[in-house]
Amino acid sequence: MLYIGSHTSIAGGLENAAIQAKALGATAFGMFTKNQRQWASKPITEEESAKFKDTLKDLGFSKAQVLPHDSYLINLGNPDGLKRQQSLTAFIDELQRVHTLGLDKLNFHPGSHIDKIGRKDSLALVAEALDRAISSTEGVRPIIETTAGQGSNLGSSFEEIAELLSLTRQNQQVGVCIDTCHIFAAGYDLRSEEAFHKTFEEFGRIVGFDKLEALHLNDAKVALGSNLDRHESLGKGQIGIEPFIRIAQDYRFRDIPLILETIDSSLWPKEIALLQAYGQKVQP
């Protein structure tokens, strides 16, 4: 099944993310489980958890159709021990919140070396943090999101994602989310049919489609290889609409959340409906 939706808001209650997704005509959605701009958060109560689970059931969403996202404050690759511990504590809390809601994935950005240590050393810190976090929680898979390569951010190449997975002792518990804007900005072309197939062949060879758990569908304001994270609405940026149609028609992207983070939320119903329409024809 084609699971397509957008990142929706939890303002007024966690269950509102699902309600908004349904109103958009979505078959998937992304969400935060707390205010992502704050470190601390109140625990999710039994009542809140039950209401969220009941809403999902009533609206026909399964946990496979939901992609929670962690706070942007978290940096598991920070070389400062105290700050890294703060991030790890927050990350474990995020995993536990997801588990409380009956969900099984947590999308996260791999982090940054903040120009204080080398990339490989910072990746090793992220891997160590992932192992500790996985050992501290149950039933939730951390999902590494590809990045644009802006500044000192980690995870902008398939090789770096693969290296992080290889460094993680419990890598069988870790998945990957491809952000189309991010990989385009990192130098992976998607525009022509040839480029599209070359990029995803490379991902399959280096990382593996068995690791792919989700996609963020975003066009890009900026040029190929610019290393800038600037999202645009589908078809209005440098990538164009054709690669997103190919994704909707490609069997490899079925049964995982495909989440829009495009900049104009008023266009989400049209973007979702467009991809769903093209997705009726699956290409081998």
Catalytic annotation, residues: 37, 69, 72, 109, 145, 179, 182, 216, 229, 231, 261
Query: Cα-flanking dihedrals φ and ψ of residue 281, to 5°?
Result: -110, 105
d(CA 91, CA 97): 10
Hey, is 219 helix, strand or coil? strand
Phi-psi region of 60 (alpha: psi -120 to 50; beta: other; left: phi over 0): left
Tokens representing 4? Answer: 């397509």
d(CA 70, CA 142): 10
d(CA 123, CA 144): 12
Query: Cα-flanking dihedrals φ and ψ of residue 133, to 5°?
Result: -65, -45
d(CA 269, CA 193): 26
d(CA 133, CA 95): 8
End-to-end alpha-carbon separation of the chain, Å? 14
d(CA 202, CA 38): 37
**How far is residue 126 from each of residues 10, 34, 77, 164, 281, measured CA to CA in Å?**
28, 22, 5, 8, 40
Counts of helices then strands in the chain (DSSP H, E): 9, 10
Nearest Cα residue to 123 out of 64, 80, 163? 163
Tokens representing 240? Answer: 């164009």
